[in-house]
Amino acid sequence: METDSFNEESPKPQFDPQDWNDWHWQMRNRLSSIEELQRYVRLTPSEVNGIKMAQGRFPVAITPYWASLLDPVNPRCPLRMQVIPTSSEHLVSKHEMLDPLAEDSNSPVPGIVHRYPDRVLLLPLNMCAAYCRYCTRSRWVGDENEMLLGARLDPAMEYLRQHKEIRDVLISGGDPLLFSDKRLDELLGRIRAIPHIEFVRIGTRVPVFLPMRVTQELILTLRKYHPLWISVHFNHPREITPEVKKACTMLADGGFPLGSQSVLLKGINDDPAVFKQLVHELLKIRVRPYYIYQCDPVTGTTHFRTPVSKGIEIIEALRGHTTGYAVPTFVVDAPGGGGKVPINPNYVLEHSGGVLKLRNFAGKQYTYHEEAP
């Protein structure tokens, strides 16, 4: 029986502000053990069991910053549910897969996933600031010594050079913003040296889990490689703290278009009112809601997944009821490597003989006549 060392009456641990605002310190002091986490939250028996069972499989690692945001006594805290495993993580349904998006079978060389005709996914490292328990790459992330640097990156770069149809590179992982500024400079420089690469994106959750990583030095490094777009993973309005606002402001002021990619998660953001609050808060910090993903059927995530109808309900609650910039695209990433498939409410009631019968956001019906020139 684990000893519950959490004292609800005691304040959360306090640290020197200079340490707290140092992203290296945050990474060195991530929480992974039951004893460490109990300094911040009262762990439930299910959470204790989940942490034990995660050892050697899919690591637990939580920055002190993120841990400070968790509700210490409510296991249904939407931020806590994302990072602390429970016993439910070890229940597997018959349709779940280790690699639901078939990334491994679409990987011609280490670090490259080539599914779409003109773009690739580049995975140069598999380390994250914290590990989301619904992660599509839970089979792979967490070996924090596994990085493609220097000569180990050569096959991926050669693949990009040889395939001139590739115009778009998305750098993800893991989280590429955990590279040092020097390593990022090297990586981006090598990609930008390939003439046919037009478009470079970074997928990251660092501004959310580790906002102190966004420094002026990082901005200056990234600005050398414009045009550069950044997709940030936000799931809940409580994630948008003053520190996150500052990080996103620095990135936006640096000239980087920011988009948000969210995962639809049961009990976390599957309420239309919560999602509307999230997209409104995102626009206020110059982050454009981009995608809502149906939670992938990765092994051990049944407890996170909602019916697809819930995503449609959320889109319907946004479209026409708030500004269009606040409405992301709801997608199912088709299992087996089919790519993103948009799923939308049905606003077309009938289409025949050049006549469309439509309904609008308020449920009223209208007719549109297609006329040949």
Q: Which of 30, 80, 119, 201 is catalytic?
A: 119
Distance CA 112, CA 162 (A): 13
Q: Which of 30, 77, 131, 135 is catalytic?
A: 135
Give Rg (Cα) of the chain.
22
* Pairing, β 199-204 against β 348-352: unpaired
3-state secondary structure of 49: helix
Distance CA 185, CA 369 (A): 54
Distance CA 264, CA 272 (A): 11
Q: Under a CB-based contact definition with an 8 Å cutoff, are residues 231 and 268 in contact? A: no
Residues whose CB is less than 8 angstroms from the CB of residue 101 and which lie 6 or more positions away in sequence, other chains included: 136, 296, 333, 335, 336, 337
Q: Which of 30, 80, 137, 305 is catalytic?
A: 137
Q: Which of 22, 39, 57, 116 is catalytic?
A: 116
Where residue 300 falls (left for φ over 0; alpha for ψ -120 to 50; beta otherwise) is: left
3-state secondary structure of 362: coil
CA dihedral over 331, 333, 335, 338, signed as positive or negative: positive
Q: Which of 65, 77, 99, 128 is catalytic?
A: 128
Q: Which of 246, 266, 288, 340 is catalytic?
A: 340
Distance CA 175, CA 183 (A): 13
For the question of residue 340 being annotated catalytic, the response is: yes
Distance CA 162, CA 291 (A): 31
For the question of residue 137 being annotated catalytic, the response is: yes
For the question of residue 159 being annotated catalytic, the response is: no
For the question of residue 333 being annotated catalytic, the response is: yes
Q: Under a CB-based contact definition with an 8 Å cutoff, are residues 25 and 19 in contact? A: yes
Q: Per the structure block, which two tokens stand in for 91?
A: 């229940």
Nearest CA to 103 among 173, 204, 205, 176?
173
Sheet holding 228-232, edge to edge: 112-116, 119-122, 168-171, 199-204, 228-232, 258-264, 288-294, 329-334, 339-342
Tokens 């966004």 correspond to: 214
Amino acid at 214: V
Q: Which of 132, 205, 213, 305 is catalytic?
A: 132
Q: Which of 57, 115, 183, 266 is catalytic?
A: 115
For the question of residue 118 being annotated catalytic, the response is: no
What residues act catalytically? 115-116, 119, 128, 132, 135, 137, 296, 333, 340
